[in-house]
Amino acid sequence: MQFKDIIGQSQLKQNLTASVREGHVPHAQMFLGCLGYGGLPLALAYAQYLNCANPQPDDSCGECPSCMKMNKLAHPDLHFSFPFPSVEKRKISTESITEWREVLQVSPYLSLHRWMVKFNAENKQPNIPITECHDVMRRLSFKAYESGYKIMVIWLPEYLGKEGNTLLKILEEPPANTVFLLVAENLETVLNTIISRTQIIKISPIDQQELADALVERQQMQPDEAYRIAGLANGDYIESLDLLNHSAAEHAGLFEQWMNVLLSNKAEPMGMVKFADVFGALGRESQKNFILYSLHMLKEVLHLQVFGKPSSVLTGSEKSVVSDMAGKFNQSKMQRMSDWLNEAHYHVERNASGKMMMLDLSVRIGKLVKPAAAMV
Ligand SMILES: [Zn+2]
pLDDT for 371 equals 63
236 CA to middle of ligand 1, Å?
Answer: 29
Instruction: Using a cut of 0.75, tell me whether the model's pTM lies above it.
Output: no
146 CA to middle of ligand 1, Å?
Answer: 14
Q: Is residue 214 part of a domain?
A: no
Residues 240 and 142 in one domain: no
231 CA to middle of ligand 1, Å?
Answer: 35
Residues 264 and 184 in one domain: no
Q: Is residue 267 part of a domain?
A: yes
115 CA to middle of ligand 1, Å?
Answer: 28
Rounded average pLDDT per 10-residue block, the chain, 376 residues: 97 97 96 97 98 96 97 96 84 93 94 88 84 95 88 96 93 94 95 96 97 93 84 90 80 91 79 92 82 88 87 79 89 92 87 90 88 49
Residues 276 and 353 in one domain: yes
Distance CA 335, CA 184 (A): 50
Residues 257 and 184 in one domain: no
- Last-in-domain residue among 160, 186, 204: 204
Q: Is residue 225 part of a domain?
A: no
pLDDT for 58 equals 96
Residues 13 and 139 in one domain: yes
Q: Is residue 210 part of a domain?
A: no
199 CA to middle of ligand 1, Å?
Answer: 25
Q: Is residue 282 part of a domain?
A: yes
Q: Are 223 and 212 in contact (CB under 8 A)?
A: yes
- Last-in-domain residue among 183, 204, 225: 204
How many separate domains does the chain show?
A: 2
319 CA to middle of ligand 1, Å?
Answer: 42
Residues 324 and 189 in one domain: no
Q: Is residue 275 part of a domain?
A: yes
Q: Is residue 358 part of a domain?
A: yes
pLDDT for 187 equals 92
Distance CA 37, CA 103 (A): 17
Residues 196 and 254 in one domain: no
Residues 191 and 259 in one domain: no
Q: What secondary structure, in 3-state letters, does the chain show? A: CCHHHCCCCHHHHHHHHHHHHCCCCCCEEEEECCHHHCHHHHHHHHHHHHHCCCCCCCCCCCCCHHHHHHHCCCCCCEEEECCEECCCCCCCHHHHHHHHHHHHHHCCCCCHHHHHHCCCCCCCCEEECHHHHHHHHHHHHCCCCCCCCEEEEEECHHHECHHHHHHHHHHHCCCCCEEEEEEECCHHHCCHHHHCCCEEEECCCCCHHHHHHHHHHHHCCCHHHHHHHHHHCCCCHHHHHHHHHHHHHHHHHHHHHHHHHHHCCCCCHHHHHHHHHHHHCCCHHHHHHHHHHHHHHHHHHHHHHHHCCCCCCCCHHHHHHHHHHHHHCCHHHHHHHHHHHHHHHHHHHCCCCHHHHHHHHHHHHHHHHCHHHHHC
Distance CA 6, CA 213 (A): 12
CB atoms inside a 10 Å sphere around CB 45: 25
Residues 263 and 363 in one domain: yes
Residues 259 and 307 in one domain: yes
142 CA to middle of ligand 1, Å?
Answer: 24
Q: Is residue 229 part of a domain?
A: no
Residues 176 and 260 in one domain: no
Residues 187 and 57 in one domain: yes
pLDDT for 105 equals 92
The domain that holds 349 is classified in CATH as 1.20.272
The domain that holds 133 is classified in CATH as 3.40.50.300
**Domain extent for 199:** 3-204
CB atoms inside a 10 Å sphere around CB 253: 10
